[in-house]
């Protein structure tokens, strides 16, 4: 295994003793076999077990649970509310309203779950702030609010400039909106806490047990590198790896990196600029800057949209220190010119972008006993909790709002085939960068760049 471990995962592993989770080396049977031990797999296992305690539930994970996106993300708790327009467009108004509300509630449910089960995931439900750092962003920042208000579900408040500067710890922002449903957490501690809890309620977890093949049928058979699971129901919760496991998914997602940098603890300096809360803060770029602090006084800053993978190959660079350190340091300097540039480390990871920017779930087999969920598009900390609702309902064949949702009925669009996707993604990326640079300089972006940037609009944290 790669020696480099992303910061949160490394810190979480060092701060706890994990129970032994063996490799699967024999043939076993189960009611439910879940492939992948990240947030999606774990929430699905836990929610299924809660609804049906008698079921034998097995998770097979190719490495260590949490080693994927779940143990390395920014830990920003963001909801579906700024994607309301897309939700209406793709899923219908009633479902859009339901999902916005469910995602806002999920922020507090994750917090309550951690408190109830003594998972110290450093959850801080202090809210989320979206900001504008140039006039173009100022003009689009409030757009989602009008639509939410029309349907009486707007929880965002427009901040005065004074409040924006005070709450974000930075004078780089020109405007901001805040929602109390949001916050931040320690993703590594959450994922390992979920693992321990899952084990405590009788879920079996096999690590170092890579899925190799499935024989579909009435009783699907999962082959792992050294073992086999015959299960009545199967769930693929492998996120960015799905396109490689099943060709049919390769066109539904595109892998793109998010790159992160984190400081050494500097609680006094952060207190001086008013940044000792756990709010998640993001600007309004397509390739967004986002940041949050930690309870021990570190500041983490991330930026999405940097490195695309040809044909969705899981590049070694996705599991190494960031290649974009200089860019991250520059962004840090722009947001926080007075803070020490005393960085602990950088890391990166692959996000599974869907064409809509929304996750999708569904069934893979004609027997309706093999399910999947992916496509969180960089917004999965809160959304994977809802993914657990969708997948547990599918697994248990429950007729409810989750299984009836269009979100549970497969992908909503295709990317072009390779090499067009890769070439196109890089062309679009360059246009987005030029457009956002022009806007930063308060100039009009070129028409061509504006048109090309529209292809990447779904990658933003908010609809435009
Ligand atoms: C760098 C980065 C920053 C992010 N920041 C944020 C953020 O701040 N806020 C937010 O909401 N979202 C963020 N996200 C997105 C979020 O992390 C993900 O959407 C979420 O963690 C997805 O969880 P998952 O369980 O579906 O996938 P993963 O956590 O990736 O889990 C998939 C698991 O499947 C396993 N697996 C793969 N192939 C196999 C196989 N063949 N056999 C067995 N197991 C297999 C993997 O090892 C992995 O453990 C970020 C993502 C990245 C990469």
pLDDT 10s digits, 106-156: 999 999 999 999 999 999 999 999 999 999 999 989 888 999 999 999 999
Rg, the chain, Cα only = 21
Range of weakest confidence among 8-12, 303-307, 342-346: 303-307
In 86-171, beta strands by DSSP E: 128-132, 156-159
**pLDDT at residue 455, rounded to an integer:** 84
Fill in the DSSP letter of residue 314. Answer: -
pLDDT, tens digit (0-9, with 9 covering 90-100), for 189-240: 999 999 999 999 999 999 999 999 999 999 999 999 999 999 999 999 999 9
Cα 360 to ligand 1 centre (Å): 14
- Residue 161 CB neighbour total at 10 angstroms: 12
* Domain chopping of the chain, boundaries: 125-184+256-351, 420-459
**Tokens 């290649």, residue?**
323
The per-residue pLDDT of the chain, averaged, comes to 95
Tell me the average pLDDT across 411-435. 91
- Residue closest via CA to ligand 1's atom 20 equals 380
- Name all residues whose Cβ lies below 6 A of ligand 1: 35-41, 60-63, 67-70, 72-76, 78, 210-211, 237-241, 258, 260, 302, 348-351, 376, 378-382, 384
Q: Over 60: is that where the pLDDT of 1 sits?
A: no
**pLDDT at residue 457, rounded to an integer:** 76
- Residue closest via CA to ligand 1's atom 8 equals 74
What's the CA gap between 41 and 373, in Å, rounded? 9
Kindly give the pairing relationship between strand 183-184 and strand 211-215: unpaired
**pLDDT at residue 305, rounded to an integer:** 86
Cα 188 to ligand 1 centre (Å): 11
- 287 band by pLDDT with thresholds 50, 70 and 90: confident
Cα 352 to ligand 1 centre (Å): 8
Cα 314 to ligand 1 centre (Å): 12
- 462 band by pLDDT with thresholds 50, 70 and 90: confident
Fold of 125-184+256-351: D-Amino Acid Oxidase; Chain A, domain 2 (3.30.9)
Q: Over 60: is that where the pLDDT of 93 sits?
A: yes
**pLDDT at residue 2, rounded to an integer:** 56
- Residue closest via CA to ligand 1's atom 51 equals 73
- Residue closest via CA to ligand 1's atom 18 equals 380
Cα 209 to ligand 1 centre (Å): 17
- pTM of the entire structure? 0.97
Q: In the chain, what percentage of residues exceed pLDDT 90?
A: 91
**pLDDT at residue 349, rounded to an integer:** 96
- Residue closest via CA to ligand 1's atom 25 equals 38
**For residue 39, which atom of ligand 1 is closest to its CA?**
25
Of 6, 24, 67, 73, the one to substitute when testing ligand 1's pocket (max ligand atoms within 8 A of C-beta) is: 73
**pLDDT at residue 143, rounded to an integer:** 86
HSE, side-chain direction, 13 A CA sphere, residue 32: 34
Q: In the chain, what percentage of residues exceed pLDDT 70?
A: 99
CA 198 to chain centre: 21
**pLDDT at residue 5, rounded to an integer:** 80
**pLDDT at residue 454, rounded to an integer:** 86
**For residue 348, which atom of ligand 1 is closest to its CA?**
1
Phi then psi for residue 178, to 5 deg, are: -130, 140
What's the CA gap between 161 and 310, in Å, rounded? 42
Tell me the average pLDDT across 420-437. 91
Cα 17 to ligand 1 centre (Å): 22
Q: Over 70: is that where the pLDDT of 350 sits?
A: yes
What's the CA gap between 358 and 83, in Å, rounded? 8
CB-based contact 367:219 (threshold 8 Å): no
- Residue closest via CA to ligand 1's atom 50 equals 73
Ranked by mean pLDDT, the top range of 332-336, 424-428, 447-451 is 332-336
């Amino acid at each position: 295994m790669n020696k480099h471990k992303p910061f949160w995962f490394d810190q979480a592993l060092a701060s706890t003793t994990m129970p032994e989770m063996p490799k699967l080396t024999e043939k076993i049977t189960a009611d439910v076999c879940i492939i992948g031990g990240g947030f999606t797999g774990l929430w699905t296992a836990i929610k299924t077990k809660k609804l049906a305690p008698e079921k034998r539930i097995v998770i097979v994970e190719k490495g260590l649970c949490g080693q994927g996106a779940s143990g390395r993300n920014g830990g920003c708790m963001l909801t579906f509310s700024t994607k309301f327009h897309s939700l209406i467009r793709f899923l219908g108004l009633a479902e859009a309203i339901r999902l916005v509300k469910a995602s806002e509630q999920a922020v507090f449910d994750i917090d309550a779950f951690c408190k109830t089960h003594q998972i110290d995931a450093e959850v801080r439900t202090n809210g989320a702030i979206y900001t504008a750092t140039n006039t173009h962003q100022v003009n689009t920042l409030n757009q989602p609010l009008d639509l939410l208000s029309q349907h009486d579900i707007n929880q965002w408040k427009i901040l005065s400039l004074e409040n924006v500067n005070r709450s974000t710890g930075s004078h780089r922002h020109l405007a901001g909106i805040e929602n109390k449903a949001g916050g931040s957490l320690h993703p590594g501690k959450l994922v390992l806490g979920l693992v321990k809890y899952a084990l405590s309620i009788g879920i079996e977890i096999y690590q170092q047990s890579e899925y190799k093949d499935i024989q579909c049928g009435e009783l699907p058979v999962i082959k792992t590198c050294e073992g086999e699971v015959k299960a009545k129901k199967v769930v693929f919760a492998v996120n960015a790896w799905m396109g490689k496991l099943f060709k049919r998914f390769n066109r539904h997602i595109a892998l793109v990196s998010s790159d992160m940098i984190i400081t050494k603890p500097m609680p006094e300096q952060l207190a001086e600029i008013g940044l000792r809360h756990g709010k998640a803060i993001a600007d309004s770029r397509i390739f967004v800057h986002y940041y949050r602090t930690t309870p021990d006084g570190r500041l983490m800053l991330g930026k999405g949209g940097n490195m695309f993978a040809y044909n969705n190959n899981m590049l070694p660079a996705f599991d190494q220190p960031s290649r974009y350190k200089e860019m991250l340091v520059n962004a840090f300097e722009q947001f926080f010119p007075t803070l020490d540039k005393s960085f602990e480390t950088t890391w990166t990871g692959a996000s599974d972008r869907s064409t809509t920017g929304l996750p999708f779930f569904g069934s893979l087999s004609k027997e309706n006993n093999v399910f999947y969920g992916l496509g969180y598009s960089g917004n999965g900390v809160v959304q994977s909790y809802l993914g657990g609702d969708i997948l547990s309902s599918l697994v248990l064949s429950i007729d409810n709002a989750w299984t009836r949702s269009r979100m549970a009925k497969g992908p909503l669009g295709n990317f072009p085939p390779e090499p067009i996707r890769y070439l196109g993604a890089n062309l679009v990326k360059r246009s987005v960068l030029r457009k956002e640079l022009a806007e930063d300089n308060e100039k009009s972006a070129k028409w061509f760049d504006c048109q090309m940037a529209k292809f990447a609009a779904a990658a933003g944290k908010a609809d435009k």
